[in-house]
Amino acid sequence: MSSTVPLIVRLLASSVSVANRAGKIVRDVMSKGELGIVEKGKDDYQTEADRSAQKCIIAALSAQFPKLSIIGEEDSPENDTEVPTDWLVVDADKEVLTLNCPTNLQGVKEEDIVVWVDPLDGTSEYTQGFLEHVTVLIGISVNEEPVAGVIHQPYYKSMIGGEKKMGRTIWGLKDAGVGGFTPAPPPDSLIITTTRSHSNPLVEKALQVMNASQILRVGGAGYKVLQLLEGKASVYVFASGGCKKWDTCAPEAILSASGGTLSDMLGNRYKYGASVGKPNKTGVLAAANPELYNYALSRIPQELKEALAK
């Protein structure tokens, strides 16, 4: 069966299963209570969960798809590739495997793909106990464009057949569809979602000009885009260069697949080829539909755009 399913669909289906396993690692590290926090820079932390989840994702995907370029957030020593055998996930999500692959992605080869991995998005929130904000992000780009992605929430609680279930995985493939959640239209009033742990005066200025009825300050790029997908916020505004390509690749792919847009604060789309600069220097602006996106873009003053582009 697998040989008849296009590579991009198999990779997305495997990414769903791998993200589930990485999410279990994130929960296990927290339950053990030894977070092993390392400060990478100002307001920028890494824990044992970030390190192990990334090792799991890269080892499992590269074992199955050896010619992929995979770029993960965390630096790890070249020879540090040994992982427990149960991290080498080989399952693939059955629903994703049945997707109708758009014609232009049917012939994509491993060599054409760059995968951006954020093993734990929202590390500040993870260390501070805002666990529902935490996500695992696997973004798949082809020709520099994010075309597929996975947002896994390790701490999402649900009841299935009378049993408690922990974790859920949201996925999207461009021109094919989204799944793992119930899409909802944007709220009736303008609700902006933004950072809760990386604000600065420019970030606040961009929020002021939106004229919003509410500002939802939550952690992680993945969780903020989920607020858009689930109709809890209208626009994601972040006038700072702090986000990186691994933060936005998967969320952008899923948002695009559901009819939304993610760009920088100037209205330009980011590119996701292997040699691009990692920081999203000119910020993040995203919305669930074109009307909200165009409204938000039109509110941003020229001097704010210039300050970010400097």
Region near Mg ion per CB under 5 A, out of 119-127, 153-161, 208-216, 276-284: 119-127
Between residues 238 and 270, which has the closer beta carbon with respect to ligand AMP? 238
The residue assigned the tokens 């669909």 is 9
Active site residue 91: no
Q: Does 118 bind Mg ion (CB under 5 A)?
A: yes
Annotation marks residue 175 as catalytic? no
Q: C-beta of 4: minimal distance to ligand AMP in Å?
A: 37
Nearest-approach distance from CB 288 to ligand AMP, in angstroms: 17
Our CB check for ligand AMP shows the closer of 97 and 215 to be 215
Residues between 183 and 222 with contacts to Mg ion, criterion CB under 5 A:
none
Closest residue to bound ligand AMP by CB: 242
Our finding on whether 121 is near Mg ion (CB under 5 A) is yes
Q: Which residues bind ligand AMP (CB under 6 A)?
A: 43-44, 121-122, 195, 197-198, 219-221, 238, 240, 242-243, 247
Single out the segment in contact with Mg ion by CB under 5 A; choices: 10-18, 111-119, 257-265, 280-288.
111-119
Min dist. Cβ of residue 186 to Mg ion (A): 24
Work out whether 48 is an interface residue with Mg ion (CB under 5 A).
no
In terms of CB distance, is 118 or 264 closer to Mg ion? 118
Question: SS3 for the chain, per residue?
Answer: CHHHCCHHHHHHHHHHHHHHHHHHHHHHHHHHCCCCCEEEECCEEECHHHHHHHHHHHHHHHHHCCCCEEEECCCCCCCCCCCCHHHCCCCCCHHHHCCCCCHHHCCCCHHHEEEEEEEEECHHHHHHCCHHHCEEEEEEEECCEEEEEEEEEEEEEEEECCEEEEEEEEEEECCCEEECCCCCCCCCCCEEEECCCCCCHHHHHHHHCCCCCEEEECCCHHHHHHHHHCCCCCEEEECCCCCEHHHHHHHHHHHHHCCCEEECCCCCCCCCCCCCCCECCCCEEEECCHHHHHHHHHHCCHHHHHHHHC
252 binds Mg ion per the rule CB under 5 A: no
Residues in Cβ contact with 23 at an 8 Å cutoff, skipping those fewer than 6 apart: 53, 136, 152, 153, 154, 167, 169
Which member of 50, 118, 247, 264 is catalytic? Answer: 50
**Cβ closer to ligand AMP: 93 or 247?**
247
Q: How far is the CB of 248 from ligand AMP (least distance, A)?
A: 9
Q: Say whether residue 247 binds Mg ion (CB under 5 A).
A: yes
Catalytic residue among 93, 118, 121, 123: 123
Backbone angles phi, psi at 169, to 5 degrees: -130, 120
- Smallest gap, in angstroms, from Cβ of residue 60 to ligand AMP? 22
113 burial type by CB count under 10 A (0-12 exposed, 13-18 middle, 19+ buried): buried
In the complex with ligand AMP, the residue whose CB is nearer, 108 or 126, is 126
Instruction: Name the minimum Å distance from CB 43 to ligand AMP.
Output: 5
Contacting residues toward Mg ion, per CB under 5 A: 73, 118, 120-121, 247
Please list the active-site residues.
50, 123
